Structure 1
């Protein structure tokens, strides 16, 4: 089965979760979520082809990469963290997919006409900022230049090979100490970047559902700010 077919299969399963937000485990949940009062947001998980190849529906997971943004260090929330392009759903957005595409264009300059939306995953809680986030899966069939559109918000835009993210040597557990408690999340060390927190949790869950995850040593911990 190709990577695209595996993605479509997972999306199909997630349709059954409609209206039932996914909750985080207690050891990675920094604060209680107010589901009733949570704001809606969407992020774009954009799969492209690694290297100079053109994206095709027959590619395997190792042939793909993902698009990320590194938040500016001056931001009030999530400063310096790596994230998917995305943000709050505005009233004029038709649906979460439209919001994710709009935010991706605003943050990275990506031409959204070159992206096919495959579908969405179930809403996932983001307790720190009290958002319910819909991950939208995109297929980048016609690539365009990407860059930090607003340096005040994004320090960098980069692509990470899925093969590198699946490599057990690049997987660690990110640890945060707050108010006498220890919180953990999956983390990925790729290309000089550390992807952790909510973004890494979503990736970890997706890779596991896809059957792509390779056994890795979760006892390898790094301290996060």
Structure 2
């Protein structure tokens, strides 16, 4: 499905860049996500510079102890030698999927959010790249696959659902064929779609249980 709106024509990232520069108010995502200062991490939200930009995701390896098979943004914990959150996100993307940082242009950052499961304060670095190189798992023991979905796919109401966790948690999710994106990753993508002015109305009352293969702790 092609982009049904003019928001992706011309300079599709201008509104998003402006919104990020304005230091958007952090979302609560159901509870207080104020950074705790215990541990720090960064993830990379990487869009191609196309008329209908595509966003890169990774699927965690099936052999991992934690969150095996789940879909996430490239990223990880801050290392002592990292300069800042951007350095962390780009280093991790290189290590995970072979992204050449010289091809990346920064748009800005989302405010850091606290993740209770890991106790990380996670900063989302938003950027673009040409999308003209192949990205693939660098370490199959860590990354299972690389996925890419366009904005028109992510905003298609047919692909939007409310995910329901067995413990009662609900939140925005993306049902992209065999791929199910939920949790913090889905919240971050949903947030950026709103900031960029790309979001479309979708049925939040369409609630589905998180598929078992994407639910493992």
Provide TM-score, normalisation by structure 1.
0.83
Q: Return the alpha-carbon distance in structure 2 between the equivalents of residues 128 and 115 of structure 1.
A: 30
Q: Deviations over 1:147-170 (max 9, x none)?
A: 011111111012111100000000
Q: How does 1:11-90 map to 2 (within 5 A)?
A: 11-14=20-23, 22-26=27-31, 35-49=35-49, 55=50, 59=51, 63-90=52-79
Aligned mates of 1:170, 1:36 — CA distance in 2: 34
Return the match for 1:197 from 153, 159, 183: 183
Shift of the alpha carbon at 1:142? 6.0
Following TM superposition, by how much is the alpha carbon of 1:144 offset from its aligned partner in structure 2, in angstroms? 2.0
Q: Secondary structure of the residue that 2:186 maps to in structure 1?
A: helix
Superposition deviation, residue 34 in structure 1: 8.4
Question: CA separation of 1:116/1:142 partners in 2, compared to 1, >3 Å: closer, same or farther?
Answer: same
Does the CA-based 8 Å contact 1:115-1:142 persist in structure 2?
Answer: no
1:165 aligns with 2:170: no
Tell me what 1:118 maps to: 107
Specify whether residues 217 and 9 from structure 1 end up closer, same or farther in structure 2 by C-alpha distance, changes over 3 A only.
same
Backbone CA RMSD of aligned residues:
1.9
**Matched residue of 1:151: which SS?**
coil
Distance between the aligned counterparts of 2:177 and 2:92, measured in 1? Answer: 24
C-alpha distance in 2 between matches for 1:173 and 1:159: 21
1:6 to 15, 18, 21: 15
Residue correspondence of structure 1 range 202-217 to structure 2 within 5 A? 202-217=188-203
Q: Structure 1 pair 200/142, CA: closer, same or farther in 2 (3 Å)?
A: closer
Q: Find runs of 4+ consecutive structure 1 residues off by over 6 angstroms.
A: none
Give secondary structure in 2 for the equivalent of 1:121: strand
Gaps of 5+ in 1: 27-31, 50-54
Question: Alignment length, in residue pairs?
Answer: 202
**How many angstroms apart in 1 are the aligned matches of 2:78 and 2:107?**
19
Show structure 2 runs of 5+ residues with no match: 1-9
Q: TM-score, normalised by structure 2?
A: 0.86
- Residue 219 of structure 1, CA deviation: 1.4
How many angstroms does 1:141 deviate by? 3.0
Q: 1:2 deviation in Å?
A: 2.5
CA contact (8 A) 1:100 1:136 kept: yes
CA distance in structure 1 between the aligned counterparts of 2:186 and 2:200, rounded to whole angstroms: 15
Higher percent of residues as helix: 1
Tell me the secondary structure at the aligned position of residue 110 of structure 1: coil
Matched-pair contact (CA < 8 Å) for 1:46–1:140: yes
2: distance between equivalents of 1:93 and 1:80? 27
> How far has the Cα of 1:37 moved from its partner?
4.8
- Worse-matched range after superposition: 86-95 or 111-120: 111-120
